[in-house]
Amino acid sequence: MLRSMTGFGRKESVYQDLRVTVEMRAVNHRFCEVVVRLPKSYAVLEDQVKKIVGAKVQRGRVDITISLERQAVAQKTVAVDWELAEQYVQLSREATIRLAVEGRLSIDELFAMPGVLTTAEPEQLAPEEIAEWVSATVSEATDDLLLMREREGERLLADFKQRLQKIERCAEEIHTLSPTVVEEHRSRLLARIAEWKSELKQEFEEQRVMQEILLLAERSDITEELTRLSSHCVEFGNQLNGAEAVGRRLDFLLQEMNREANTICSKANHVGISHLAVEIKAELEKMREQVQNIE
């Protein structure tokens, strides 16, 4: 199936109190390039994500953003170092006796002492605990991306077929016109000879005239170019129905078709054929712009 290289995929899922959101944006690229953005604490999952996407995407640059957030606000925990607090209290009592001063350590002052109170962030799930869950979500997002690429590929397929049919029609018209090129040149040459004979009153060698006509026929023969162009059109149509990534093959075929069209245009020496060759080249140029986006 023909696929575009551009597309977007998105998927969300929940595991315990975590929500993962996977977003993918794909654009055209000569090879397959996968760029992953993950929270630092889960960066170890990057290679795993690339393998999942790389197994399904053959060409294109895919930018993946994976975000993880808690569904509910997690509360921090507060802990008291009772042993350290008791030391502070004991030292306060000893200082009162030793220094003979009045005073008492209040609870507010005690909790303000360094190290007595500590706060802890909520425990975070380890990467290995969520690896399978994240992988499944990435796989679903990739399928979503591929679905969009396939829909765009269907539109490109219809456009390619329409333009290919036009090229084939132009080639058929050129094939019909090509035999007339030599005859028209022969008629023009003989007409000029007749005009020159009356003016110069000189005989022309008929054999020399025929040699000139045969030389032109050989130079303007486009049978080989038309055959190759037709063959490339057939192969292009076959590749459109391929199951693999065919973008680079299609691009190569279009280059070859354009080369044949250029040769036809330069060899034919015929206004009608030249116009038809230019039409072919115009369609090929539009197809080359589109094929740059084919996987």
* DSSP 8-state code for residue 14: E
The predicted model scores a pTM of: 0.69
Q: How confident is the model at residue 259 (pLDDT cuts 50, 70, 90)?
A: very high
Beta-carbon contacts of residue 151 (< 8 Å; ≥ 6 apart): none
Give the model confidence (pLDDT) of 134-176 as tens digits.
999 999 999 999 999 999 999 999 999 999 999 999 999 998 8
pLDDT at 122 > cutoff 60: no
pLDDT at 116 > cutoff 70: yes
Give the model confidence (pLDDT) of 42-77 as tens digits.
999 999 999 999 999 999 999 999 998 876 555 667
Mean pLDDT for the stretch of residues 80-109: 83
How would you classify the pairing of strands 7-15 and 18-27? antiparallel
CB-based contact 141:55 (threshold 8 Å)? no
pLDDT at 262 > cutoff 80: yes
Beta-carbon contacts of residue 282 (< 8 Å; ≥ 6 apart): none
Give the model confidence (pLDDT) of 6-39 as tens digits.
999 999 999 888 899 999 999 999 899 999 999 9
Q: Which domains does the chain have, with CATH numbers?
A: 7-73+126-150 (3.30.230.70), 77-120 (no CATH), 153-291 (no CATH)
Give the model confidence (pLDDT) of 191-237 as tens digits.
666 666 665 555 556 666 666 666 665 666 788 899 999 999 999 99
Q: How far apart are CA 207 and CA 185, in angstroms?
A: 16
